[in-house]
Amino acid sequence: MLSFTFTRTLLTGKIAGTHQRIDQAARMAMNPLLKRGDFFPSAKEIIKFEGRRGPDGLKMKSPMDDNPSHFIDPKHPRKSELLMLVKDHYHGLEEALKSKDRVRASFEAAWMAHFIADGLTPAHHFPIEKTVKSMMGEKEFFTIFDKPFKGILRGDTTRGFFRNNWRYWGVNGLMSRHVAFEYGAAIVCGTNRINKFVPELTEKDLENFDLEKEFLAFLREINKLDFYGRFAKNGWSRELSNEVEKLLLPSIVRVVALAWASALPRRGKK
């Protein structure tokens, strides 16, 4: 999903992207699960760690060094770095909530939600990073004065340089197709009221919630529906937009909200 795709909220006039709206919807969804005395940061505090302060901002500032992966292989999800990052931020959130560290809790909640959303987004299931590396030589990105220039690929020859960049940015290229899917999802998200993506949650939903199990179950479900394959073949359609609106976005919000709520100290997790 895109945290730099901007829409203006009607009430505040502030700018928010898709990840920010998912965070807002998830925070609304978990309200019925909070009890008197529970400590959890507000949506406003969580959103501070999105955009340029979030994983997308890190990727923009440092496109070559120690970038967290935003992609996941649905066939081998437990081997992916993304699932590890989700679990790491979950444990960080547990610790922050125990100590009532508002800033750290906001950070951990935002970054965990970001990786959950990316991991459950069909565009992130295509192995674009491996494909790009197989297209190029020794370095992933083109450099100017030894500094990476994000978005321009290398080539062993001038012809290879143009061929690689066309395959990346050209018509139906790897990244242009990826961005087109995410922009379409962002339009669906941005043109609907946030409460449309807010699922009804109860304590019963939270009782047996296990983050990894729930994440992997939904990942399998989304993979079976072949969102990205249908999009690559036919582009955006009304049917696909409706599925994103009624299934994909509310389901992502559900996993994020339950993950946040399950990290509360009173859950008594081992």
Hey, what are 268's tokens?
């008594």
**DSSP conformation letters of 4-54:** S--EE-TTT--EE-HHHHHHHHHHHHTGGG--TT-----HHHHHTTSGGGS
- pLDDT of 140 reads 43
Within a domain: 162: no
Please tell me the total count of domains within the chain: 1
* Cβ pair 104, 115 in contact under 8 A: no
Please report, in tens digits, the pLDDT of each residue of the chain (270 residues total).
554 444 444 434 344 588 899 999 999 999 999 988 899 999 999 999 987 777 766 555 554 455 666 678 778 888 788 889 999 999 999 999 999 999 999 999 999 999 999 889 887 766 555 555 555 554 444 443 344 445 556 656 666 666 666 566 565 665 666 677 777 788 888 888 898 999 999 999 998 899 999 999 999 988 888 887 888 788 888 888 899 899 999 999 999 999 999 999 876 544
- pLDDT of 169 reads 58
Domain that holds residue 27: 7-151+178-267
Within a domain: 254: yes
CATH assignment at residue 113: 1.10.575
The reported pTM is 0.76
In angstroms, the CA 223 to CA 91 distance is 27
Within a domain: 11: yes
